[in-house]
């Protein structure tokens, strides 16, 4: 396998790239897509061999947890065991966007995303190429498109070179160029406990001031950690 690069600068190349990406996902291969934060590696979340191929591409341990991209809020409700009011409020305000929400995973889900302890981290990225692919494939396991311990890459050509033997398709971002940011991560898995609160795992592209303008700081166990 050798990574194919589609720069998606025009409609014809975008359509061709999307078709190849969709077929690669269907075959259980890994695809590199642009998002609103950085480029990401994605694979079929429900196919164990595809999830393992994603981990191998990044050099991740076998039990390393992976998060999931979703095409919309209805998928959040389908994948989560429950969606608390605070979670619905945050998703409604910041999706699509750079907010990852960790929620209890639905018990019926047949997937292995690593040592997640019964939770799932979900995000709806604000990028038209990523969202178009997700609308056709459904939820995709994802991780940042850089080697563990390395730095994010922003050039499609550099990504093709870096993952030439482990990724089937690289989709360029066209005019929506990703940077090197990470998403803000909120853990909502304790909300079902008495006096349960949200927890900020990581402050990223969305500042906490924006989060706290929607959900009172009193609803959080701590601001970080």
For 41-81, the DSSP string reads EEEETT-HHHHHHHHHHHT--TT---EEE-SSHHHHHHHBS
Residue 184 lies in a domain: yes
Residue 143 lies in a domain: yes
Residue 49 lies in a domain: yes
If one counts the domains in the chain, the total is 1
Residue 58 lies in a domain: yes
Percent of the chain exceeding pLDDT 90 equals: 77
Residue 224 lies in a domain: no
Cα 88 to the chain's mean position, in Å? 18
Residue 225 lies in a domain: no
- In a 13 Å sphere around the CA of 147, the CA atoms on its Cβ side amount to 9
CATH code at 80? 3.90.870.10
Cα 1 to the chain's mean position, in Å? 24
Domain boundaries, position 141:
4-219
Residue 60 lies in a domain: yes
User: What does pLDDT average to over the chain?
Assistant: 92
Cα–Cα dist 60/53, whole Å: 10
pLDDT tens digits, one per residue of 5-34: 999 889 999 999 999 999 999 999 999 999
Identify the band that residue 62 occupies on the pLDDT scale cut at 50, 70 and 90: confident
Angle between helices 11-26 and 128-137 (to 10 degrees): 40
């Amino acid at each position: 396998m050798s990574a194919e690069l589609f720069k998606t600068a025009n409609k014809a190349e975008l359509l061709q790239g999307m078709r190849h990406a969709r077929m690669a996902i269907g075959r259980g291969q890994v695809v590199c897509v642009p998002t609103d934060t950085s480029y990401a590696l994605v694979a079929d979340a429900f196919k164990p061999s595809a999830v393992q191929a994603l981990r191998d591409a990044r050099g991740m341990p076998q039990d390393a947890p992976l998060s999931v991209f979703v095409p919309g809020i209805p998928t959040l409700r389908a994948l989560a065991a429950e969606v608390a009011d605070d979670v619905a409020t945050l998703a409604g305000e910041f999706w699509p966007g750079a907010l990852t929400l960790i929620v209890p995973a639905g018990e019926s889900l047949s997937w292995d995303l690593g040592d997640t302890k019964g939770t799932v981290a979900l995000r709806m990225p604000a990028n038209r190429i990523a969202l178009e692919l997700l609308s056709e494939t459904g939820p995709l396991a994802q991780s940042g498109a850089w080697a563990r311990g390395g730095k994010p890459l922003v050039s499609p050509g550099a990504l093709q070179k870096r993952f030439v033997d482990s990724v089937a398709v690289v989709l360029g971002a066209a005019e929506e160029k990703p940077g090197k940011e990470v998403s803000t991560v909120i853990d909502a898995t304790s909300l079902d406990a008495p006096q349960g609160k949200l927890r900020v795992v990581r402050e990223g592209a969305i500042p906490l001031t924006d989060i706290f303008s929607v959900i009172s700081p009193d609803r959080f166990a701590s601001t970080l950690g």
